[in-house]
Each structure stands twice: as C-alpha cells, then as structure tokens.
Amino acid sequence: MRRDVVDGRIWTAMPYTVLADDGTTLTLAARPGTESLAPASWTTSRRDGDVAARKRGIDDLAAGTWELDRWTWRDTVVISRFTAGEPFSVHRFLNPEGRPLRWYVNFELPYRRTAIGIDTFDLFLDLVVTPDLASRTWKDEDEYAEARRLGVIDEATHRQVDRARDRALAQLHDRTGPFAPDRAAWTLPPPGPLPVLPDTALSTPAARWG
C-alpha cells in the first residue's frame, strides 16, 4: 500500500505490486483495474473534467474537510521507484502493451514504512519528462503555490522541495539514479493478480522511517 497521510488522516490509498525491495529502494507497479481511494474532489475532476473541483481539493485539505471516494486506475501501467530519505519518487508510464509514454517525477515527503506498505504525502509539484528523457515540463506549479499559500506546505518543506528539484534535474541531466540506463527495470512487469485494498487501508498505525 502506498498512502498519502496528513495530520493522521488518509488522503489517498492505493495497493501496488512489489517488483523489488532492497530495504532502501522500493519498486512498485500499478495496473489498470486496481481500485484505490482518493479525495472526492480529485475523482470528480477526473470523471467530469471539472478543473475547479480539483483546485477546491486543496482548500478541503487545508480545512481538513475532505472526503474519500473510490477510484479505479485505468489506461496505463505505472512502474514507480521510491528511495528512502528522498523527497521525490520517479515513475514510468507505459501503455498496456508496454510502450513508454512518459516519465514522471512526483515530489512528496520521504516515505515511511508501515505494516502494510509506505506512507508519504504528495506535495503537488511534478516534473513530466518525455520517454527519451530529452525534454521536460513542470506540472501543477499553481497547485503547489496554492498549497504554500494555505499553509499546507510550510517553509521548511518548500526548501526541501527546492533542493529536491536540483537533485532530480541533476540525475536527469547526468542519467544517474532512476534515470541510469537499466532497461530491464522499467519494462512491463509480468502479468499477475491485481492487488486489492486491505481492510486496514484507512488505519494509521505508528510508522517508522524507511
């Protein structure tokens, strides 16, 4: 389970298939058809194309008034790599046949291990990179700015994100870390049963740093 947790409450929860785990680097896969939990503002935005609903989600987050809705992952396979202590994860999106679609750097709090997986918190800012790593685009900078304005992201976390931006860009430029040549690590995983949301998905046990 990968969950976003804020103030002891679940913001998102999604089960993944574990591809590799050496205690520091955790590689997961998500496939179409996997059921997850997400803020109702986000699911409404995805279903109806309501951009305003997604933005209202940040207000709900700041006020602590969000509600969760069920969401089924669709259209793409995602391979995700999380590194202990690193405030970003790297994802590769593939179509169901295995064709690379894009890379995605998700800025988030460093993960913490729990009895059912890892907990983190998405910091809204993302970096989208073409499949050949040749060009990149920053995404959701407006949401990041709004989260800062509302106090969801404090100044210490903002400084952490700034440093993480530099590290992610350096790894991308130098083709190191998750961007190092390693074709086998980022190809379509073998088929298997879809993971399911456990009964403990909404529990908030004491977590330990990964």
Confidence (pLDDT) at 209: 36
pLDDT per residue over 183-208, tens digit each?
778 989 888 999 999 999 988 654 44
Note the pTM of the prediction, 2 decimals.
0.93
2-185 maps to which CATH number?
Answer: 2.40.380.10
Residue 51's pLDDT band, with cuts at 50, 70 and 90, is confident
Closest CA relative to residue 27, chosen from 185, 198, 181 = 185
Radius of gyration, alpha carbons of the chain? 16
pLDDT confidence of residue 205: 56
Q: Please give the distance of CA 141 from its chain centroid, rounded to a whole number.
A: 16
